[in-house]
Chain A
Amino acid sequence: MSSESSVLYDAPGPKAIRRDRIYNIVFTLGFLALFGYLAYRMYQNGIFDERWLVLTDPPKGQSAGDVWHSLLARGLVATLTAAAIAAPIALLIGGSLSVVRRGATGRVLSGSAAVTTELARGLPVLLLMFLAKLVFGWSPLWSVVFGLVVYNAAVVAEILRAGLAALPKGQREAGLSIGLSPMRTTVLIELPQAVRIMLPALVSQLVVLLKDTSLGYIVGYQELLRVVKLNRDYFGDYYLVPLFFVGAIIYILINLSISRLAIWLEGRMRRSKHVAKKDDGSSAMHEGGAEAKRYAANTGYGTGGTPGP
């Protein structure tokens, strides 16, 4: 943090250190007061009363085991199932789309791959899920998977396209010069390198996919959020806060750990010497570099963090 932002202000002198210390204390106290007030308001609204017993000793003759079983073994497992089915399919289709778009010799083929990705990327995932559920008449699980696959395959295709565009030109030329067809050059030479460069972005996309499984709540798939709601319908609105709290913590913890993985991967990659370097400098590569940056900025991670030249 300090290394990237300290350029905006001088290293503090004795006067500034004193001033900063005062600011620090004032703002810390301010935030503490704010959170204290919010906690007090919550207390007044009875947030901290015996409603939390629903997690340890629930009413209506249920055991704590029943509640946790429904939240974890049903809700969380359903969420992870949808993500685990959708992620590999999306990766496969997205990979194929990006290969066709780059490697196909025919304009029609690569053009239609481009149009498909653009369209799939521009539609809301929920609309796709409704299409599968209401028009195709699929089950809730497969409607969720359909929506996730169509959207994420398109995004994966875009990420890989950015990775392919960022590779040094020589890689493709070398493949073609030893007599590989354009398609095989793309698959054998370029794609493995593109996947490696864009691995952080791909992992970050996993967070998006996992977050979007919660749309299953709307199309009637019994994932984590829906199970929270079902428990609330059974026990009563009074018990919603602790149930929601558990659901939110689970989502945030899983997503945070995947995000951390992406950051770690990126740090490792920046240190590693074996990865083909993205080359922002030359004009031929610039498009790809910019594209990769845009994705990084979008997902929040990635090359956008480094200061410009």
Chain B
Amino acid sequence: MQTFIEEFGFIWGAFLATLSLTALSGILALVAGTVLAAFRVSPIGPLRTFATVYVEIVRNTPLTLMFFFWVFVAPAFGFVFPQLGFWPAIVSLSIYTSAFVCEAMRSGINSVGIGQAEAARSIGFTFGQTLTQVVLPQAWRSAIPPLISVLIALTKNTSVAAGFAYTELTASSQRLMNANPVDGLWIFFGVGLMYLVITIPLGVLAGRIEKKVAFAR
């Protein structure tokens, strides 16, 4: 308890680091994942194949392996980050999360009634118009709960950055636990609470939206 209070400034900085990782890679993954989802339902074969292969590979790769690639392996390919820590974490988390965003979006697209797309087509909309003006606005709604679940997973996944030279919440707890093993349990509860402060409101929000969407159907 003592340590947690004394070191609160340090932990607060780490909390902000976790938040910024979550926010930035969340936005990037959202954009990339939406584009991938559009690829996956597009009429153009090569785009579908590309998105499918990308999602299958990324989803079956451990996140630690992804971090390992960008930190240790990428330099051999000529990609060198100006500094370790933040940017490799952002790249790894964005790529990893985009595959899950794509799947959430795709399930949202599939949940839109067939009649909607048929109606759009019957008044002469092209694929692009059908997707952007009729299907996606509705798909978004039912995709939001799974997207929030993806975001919750992302919040927890930022902890992997602790193993690759970035001091976020889990890395800070590791350092404090090492220095004060007696206070370890309190540090764990304190840091755990800071994760829950992010994840539980998101979960509640997802539940609310889910109920609303359920009524709208």
A residues sitting closer than 8 Å to B (CB atoms) are 1, 4-5, 7-10, 12, 20, 23-24, 27-28, 30-31, 41-42, 44-45, 47, 118-119, 122-127, 130-131, 134-135, 137, 207, 211-215, 217-218, 225, 228-229, 232, 237, 240-241, 244, 247-248, 251-252, 255-256, 259, 286, 290, 293-294, 296-298, 300, 304-309
Are A298 and B146 in contact, CB atoms less than 8 angstroms apart? yes
Q: Closest CB of chain A to B107's CB: distance in Å? A: 3
Across the interface, do B156 and A123 meet the contact criterion of CB distance under 8 Å? yes
Given the known interface contacts A122-B200, A212-B62, A297-B146, the answer about A307 and B110 at a Cβ–Cβ threshold of 8 Å is yes
Which residues on B are within 8 Å of A, measured CB to CB?
A: 40-41, 43-48, 50, 52, 55-57, 59-65, 68-69, 72-73, 76-78, 100, 103-104, 106-107, 110-114, 117-118, 121, 126-127, 130-131, 135, 145-146, 149-150, 152-153, 156-160, 162-163, 169-170, 173-174, 177-178, 181, 184-185, 188, 191-192, 195-196, 199-200, 203, 206, 210, 214, 217
B46's contact among A24, A134, A307, by CB below 8 Å, is which? A24
The reply to whether B160 and A308 form a contact with Cβ atoms under 8 Å apart is: no
CA distance A55 to B114 in the complex (A): 52
A270 to chain B, nearest CB (A): 15
Contact status B104-A297, CB under 8 Å: yes
Bound form: Cα–Cα A220–B167 in Å: 18
Return the chain B residue nearest A34 by Cβ.
B50
Assess the A135–B107 pair: CB atoms within 8 A: no
Q: Within 8 Å CB of B135, what residues of A? A: 8
List, sorted by A's number, 22 A–B pairs whose CB atoms are closer than 8 Å: A8-B43, A23-B44, A27-B45, A28-B46, A44-B78, A45-B78, A119-B196, A122-B200, A127-B191, A127-B192, A135-B188, A214-B64, A215-B64, A241-B76, A244-B73, A252-B57, A256-B60, A290-B214, A294-B145, A298-B149, A304-B107, A307-B110
Q: Is the CB of A134 within 8 A of B156?
A: no
Cα-based distance from A192 to B84 in the complex (angstroms): 49
Assembled-state Cα–Cα distance A176/B57 (Å) = 47
Interface of A is mostly: helix
| Residue of B46, B73, B113 touching A308 (CB-CB under 8 A) | B113
Specify which of A125, A131, A229, A297 lies most central, judged by the most chain B CB atoms within 10 Å of its CB: A297
- How many Å lie between the Cα of A47 and that of B195 in the bound state? 41
The residues of B that contact A286 with a CB separation of less than 8 Å are 214
What is the minimal beta-carbon distance from A170 to any residue of chain B, in angstroms?
A: 22
Chain A residues with CB below 8 A from B127, complex form: 8-9
Q: Is the CB of B214 within 8 A of A308?
A: no
- In the complex, which residues of chain A have a beta carbon less than 8 angstroms from the beta carbon of B177? 130-131, 134-135
A240 touches B170 (CB 8 A): no
